[in-house]
Amino acid sequence: MESVFDKFLRYIAIDTASDPESQTQPSTQKQLDLSGLLVKELKEMGVENVSLDEFGYVMASIPSNLPQGKKTPRLGFIAHVDTAPDSPGVNINPQIIKNYDGGDIVINKEKNMVLSVKDFPELPQYKGQTIITTDGNTLLGADDKAGVAEIMAAVEYLMKNRDFPHGEIKIGFTPDEEIGRGVDKFDVKRFGADYAYTLDGGQIGELEYENFNAASAKVYIQGRNIHPGYAKNKMVNAIILASEFNGLLPVEQRPEFTEGYEGFFHIIRFDGTVEQAMIQYIIRDHDFKKFEDKKSLISECITFMNKKYGDGTFKLELKDQYFNMRKQVEPHYHIVQKAIEAMKMASVEADVKPIRGGTDGARLSFMGLPCPNIFAGGHNFHGRYEYIPVESMEKASEVILNVIKLYAQE
């Protein structure tokens, strides 16, 4: 069998960054390079009903090998092929640190980029393990090619060990998760699972069935450009107004000051000239009332600024993105309990916590497919300081097999 480590290195070599400005599905054709490869590999393993549709979804099935008449839930395992457009994702040059000594890791000497224990205090827990890092020029792609590799490794094990007991297994790989469109056209009925798990979490042990309620906000500011030599009492500088607007939002509710169940306003983009400006936010909160309050606050700030500077100076485009899946998963809490038990079997301590983000599973849960999130094993996703321990990937793949085994034993 090919190791999950080798699969991961092959998959991250393929550039699959999604594009939030694209209107196509998938948003970038290059995602299909990996999706097509996964279809080829699944077929070579002997997996049945493998397909890649026009929207970039890979689906496959493994029939039950349990005694005829024994019914178990149809289990799905899902990961996304795209990487975040936040950092470069092409020409990834991974560094392999074997038998990690527990200290700082220099990832790029020329740029003075260091994975330091001071900044990343979780590092020493991986002493003695094999760590994969970036070279400081790109992201790594563990989000979520680690999840892809872990599922593919588990599938290969099932196909090579036909006596391993399992019910019907469904495999799914999605595009465009990183830009919030991962399941826009996902056909839950065609997928055919009763319950599913995304392999898209962070460090080893993470298990999540709660996530943020999420919205996006774009604020458009109309200024008035006048020659600066003659601008007194005439110029309206959209850049200055945008800065003033941002200052109205609570500082303590920025991501860098929040944790746990605390929500935030996060400014992610600013484009501006004197004449026009645009600022973009993501709004997040686990508590639905607080989420609604945050949306109300940003609307009130728009009203206030328009009263101050004139109607039409500020315009708001506010859109809900996804909601907290807890309400959809809790009635089927056995899927969380099975994951906890599966981790215990793999000598992994489950860390059940809310996702400070979102996954395809959040929206799938609201589409009728309860779908908690299991760790993929990586750290510092979306950036040049991303890294993943190989042993965490191996444990994630083991957890998948344990979940399958537990349901087959019922």
Q: First and final CA of the chain: distance in angstroms? A: 29
State the Cα torsion 153-154-160-164 to the nearest 10°: 160
Cα 111 to chain centroid, rounded:
28
Nearest Cα neighbor of 314 from 293, 292, 298, 295 is 298
Residue 122 annotated among the catalytic residues of the structure: no
Cα(249)–Cα(243) distance, integer angstroms: 11
Residue 54 a catalytic site member: no
Catalytic residue among 144, 168, 177, 194: 177
Write the CB contacts of 167 (distance below 8 Å, at least 6 apart in sequence): 64, 66, 71, 72, 73, 74, 75, 404, 407, 408
Strand pairing category for 48-52 and 58-62: antiparallel
- Cα angle 381, 386, 388 (rounded to 5 degrees) comes to 100
Closest C-alpha among 45, 55, 141 to residue 384:
141
From the candidates 82, 144, 194, 398, which is the catalytic residue? 82
DSSP string, 169-182: EEEEEES-GGGT-T
| Catalytically annotated residues | 82, 177
